[in-house]
């Protein structure tokens, strides 16, 4: 079954609404792809207008910015320490926006959306 991102078929009173048009491809969403710590894998997704969006599948590299110096380095990720999206993601090493990851430099908070941006960006929070 497809993931629909369109108007509900029912009113708040639970009455059935009439369809005003057919289903369109733009009404459907995509499944959540969990980004795990592994060798980098990406997938190109076609978007509206024929553009491409890179979807990150696995990654062990994070672009880490040190806010004190303003310098950015590519660092290897070791393990997930904390994930506010779901506590079970910690033991499965799944990374989403806001995840705290242990790296070679220290703890890093991910600031990008890996499923949409195709990369992992983060800021250094502790050495």
Supply the pTM of this predicted model: 0.82
CATH number of the domain bearing residue 44? 3.10.290.70
Residue 79 within any structural domain of the chain? yes
Q: 28-62: per-residue pLDDT in tens?
A: 888 889 999 999 999 998 888 999 989 999 999 99
Report the pLDDT value the prediction gives residue 5, as an integer from 0 to 100. 87
Domain that holds residue 108: 35-126
Residue 8 within any structural domain of the chain? no
Residue 122 within any structural domain of the chain? yes
Structural domains counted in the chain: 1
Residue 78 within any structural domain of the chain? yes
**Which long-range contacts (C-beta less than 8 Å, at least 24 apart) are formed by 64-72?**
64/103, 64/105, 64/108, 64/122, 64/123, 64/124, 65/121, 65/122, 65/123, 65/124, 66/105, 66/123, 66/124, 67/123, 67/124
Residue 15 within any structural domain of the chain? no
Residue 12 within any structural domain of the chain? no
């Amino acid at each position: 079954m497809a993931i629909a991102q369109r108007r509900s078929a029912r009113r708040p009173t639970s009455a059935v609404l009439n369809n005003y048009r057919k289903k369109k491809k733009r009404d459907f969403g995509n499944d959540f792809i969990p980004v795990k710590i592994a060798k980098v894998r990406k997938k190109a997704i076609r978007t509206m207008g024929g553009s491409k969006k890179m979807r990150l599948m696995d990654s062990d590299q994070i672009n880490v910015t040190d806010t004190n110096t303003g310098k950015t380095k590519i660092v290897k990720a070791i393990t997930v320490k904390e994930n506010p999206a779901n506590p079970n993601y910690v033991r499965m090493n799944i990374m989403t926006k806001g995840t705290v990851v242990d790296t070679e430099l220290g703890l890093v908070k991910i600031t990008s959306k890996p499923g949409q941006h195709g990369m992992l960006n983060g800021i250094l929070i502790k050495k």
